Structure 1
């Protein structure tokens, strides 16, 4: 039985006690209007001499849990307060015989739901929050349906963007830390990334002003060259570079965890792309040896997916460093 059928019975008693007749008719609010339920008060207008506002006030007076009420001619569109919904959901949970809580669509199934896939060069943004809400909601729905759900988070913790935030810290923030600045860790590292991008853009603009094509300026700007060198040092296992990478990622993870706890989100498995990219590189090397992939004159490695309508995809840069798709190849293994 829809929840509002039970409400109607309660409201009708309140209206009868208040002497309101005839009783308003109640329907779901049309999709193109704001509201949850709509009260049809047309039958009451004669008693209130055509004054829809006064009729609405009389109808709403004995009701509780109403957040908003909009009078549109002979109709009143209403929404409910958070307290109303909390009480309603609590009642649903404690009354399985009502038919709301008997779900078995996922019985015997085991599935993994992966979200929100953040990067460790900046704080979680609105898209991540959306994915967190959707991922957690879907996970809970499947669990409510009897399934075993494994919540997984794939963290993009390496790559050129991470090198940019590291270089941003070295150039513009060192030796400051989230602790010394009093700033949330992921926000602090995000500031480092933004500072890098701002200085990098200035270098690119200067090179373009000197007559260099934009595509060339983007890769020849000194800061980008330094970031690339830092990424190469990371992939080569340079101890100093790895130590800074671990420290800054640690700052970000502390910030992420604070957000996860605030949202009531948890994960059963956390995967790191720093652990999958080498597997991906091995797959690329094997595919290159078998002729599945090909190497360009500049040394970069590509997959030709033109026949599949996906064009050509780079798998390894000319300096041998990996890209997103390289890491993705390694994850399923």
Structure 2
């Protein structure tokens, strides 16, 4: 298949591209707002091939139309989106403009090019405050922050678009918290500025690049008072995307969870990274962040049945791979 990856040089996008390039013809489309050309060079080193790359905004419908037609794209994998819960509370308009408007611009371009197969990157945040755990696809939706609401709006819009038109084939992959890096150690999560996600932040603390890890809240109703999340190895997650392409070639679907099905607290994660790095990680408690929930972890039985997918990589692999990557990609960062 000819596959377009939007935001291909982002953390999850480039890991997915590594796997897809072994069996599909991949085209990259990215505005590169939070990535670099260095990623493209490393991807070529891993895969042994140069891949067509178009620099563009996912909200540029006319550019998308011409590019989808020129490369005879069969399926789009949509990663492009802002994704930090805390930032979304501070900048909600940016999240709706990029995430929701991006989808609105992409869909007519796809229909015009008659390539109406889409794998959309959604998020467990669409479920909001859990009414029960583990979260399955039947759980009511109701996001607690603008990031989650932007994803939920898109899911609902995709359902509305696909319902009257059987030509559309769509899958919304609701993934939880990807961590870890590719086994080569060449590419990993290395955000510019202060990391929003837990793993790259504590890795930078372990490397001495930041003084301490901020922990938001120690009085949640959890075993140790800190937030509990479902952490999935990024390579397990990307294998879910590969499986979704095969799934769409035979049928269609909507929400499918991709998670490890286990919950780990922030304190659990810090202690485990201390073991992996052999270093003590200082941390400091702050007030709860708006939009966060106490605990969130998945039931992925639907993915197991529909996609023949599972998440076999253990938490230890997530830590050790991240620490190896951090040691070889140190940056000059101030707290």
State TM-score, norm by structure 1.
Answer: 0.23
Q: Which has the larger radius of gyration?
A: 1
State TM-score, norm by structure 2.
Answer: 0.23
Higher helix fraction: Structure 1 or Structure 2?
Answer: 1
